[in-house]
């Protein structure tokens, strides 16, 4: 399960990095890089999911003006 979650959030991180490069947004690039790397640091699937969901929501919430 953790391999699947790592692949899922790694894919989201890749999209964030590409989007950040096109928009010249450092926040998207940094969050994308963290999403690519962090699954290697955790082995617990629940921890990977929670961390990935929070990291994925940060740029969205910032774009909507929630944070």
Separation CA 43–CA 27 (nearest Å): 26
Tens-digit pLDDT profile for residues 41-58: 888 899 999 999 999 999
Which positions ≥6 away from 29 have C-beta within 8 Å? 16, 17, 20, 21
CA dihedral 25, 54, 61, 21 (to 10 degrees): 10
Tens-digit pLDDT profile for residues 17-47: 999 999 998 999 999 999 999 988 888 899 9
| Tokens describing residue 26 | 């450092």
| Tokens describing residue 22 | 């096109």
Residue 65, sorted as left (phi over 0), alpha (psi -120 to 50) or beta, turns out to be left
Break the chain into its structural domains and give their ranges: 14-64
């Amino acid at each position: 399960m953790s391999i699947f979650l790592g692949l899922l959030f790694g894919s989201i991180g890749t999209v964030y990095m590409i989007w950040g490069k096109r928009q010249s947004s450092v926040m998207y690039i940094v969050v994308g890089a963290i999403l690519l790397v962090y699954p290697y640091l955790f082995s617990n699937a629940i921890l990977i999911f929670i961390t990935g969901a929070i990291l994925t929501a940060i740029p969205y919430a910032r774009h909507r003006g929630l944070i």
